[in-house]
């Protein structure tokens, strides 16, 4: 498993609306496939974190 910070993430916390931070969690499965999940968390201490759509300011 690898975790990469998404530096150009532009999503917001669905609970309080404050800008969120995100990482891409890359999992290598036994059958050779790679599964990538975007996990975001609130930039404020409201406590929200969870899966999120990839929302970036620039094209990847």
The DSSP annotation for 40-51 comes to EEESSTT--EEE
pLDDT per residue rounded down to tens, the chain (60 residues): 899 999 988 888 989 999 999 999 999 999 999 999 999 999 887 989 999 888 776 665
- Residue 48 lies in domain: 2-52
> Within a domain: residue 35?
yes
> Within a domain: residue 58?
no
Contact 23, 4 (CB under 8 A): yes
Let me know if 29 is exposed, middle or buried by CB neighbors in 10 A (0-12, 13-18, 19+). exposed
Q: What per-residue confidence (pLDDT) applies to 58?
A: 64
Work out how many domains the chain is built from and give that number. Answer: 1
Nearest to 23 by CA among 2, 6, 8: 6
Q: What per-residue confidence (pLDDT) applies to 3?
A: 95
> Within a domain: residue 60?
no
């Amino acid at each position: 498993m690898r975790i990469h910070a998404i530096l150009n993430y532009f999503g917001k916390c669905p609970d309080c609306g404050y800008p969120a931070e995100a990482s891409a969690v890359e999992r290598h499965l036994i059958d050779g496939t790679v599964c990538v999940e975007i996990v975001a968390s609130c930039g404020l201490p409201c406590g929200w974190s969870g899966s999120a759509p990839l929302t970036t300011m620039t094209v990847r």
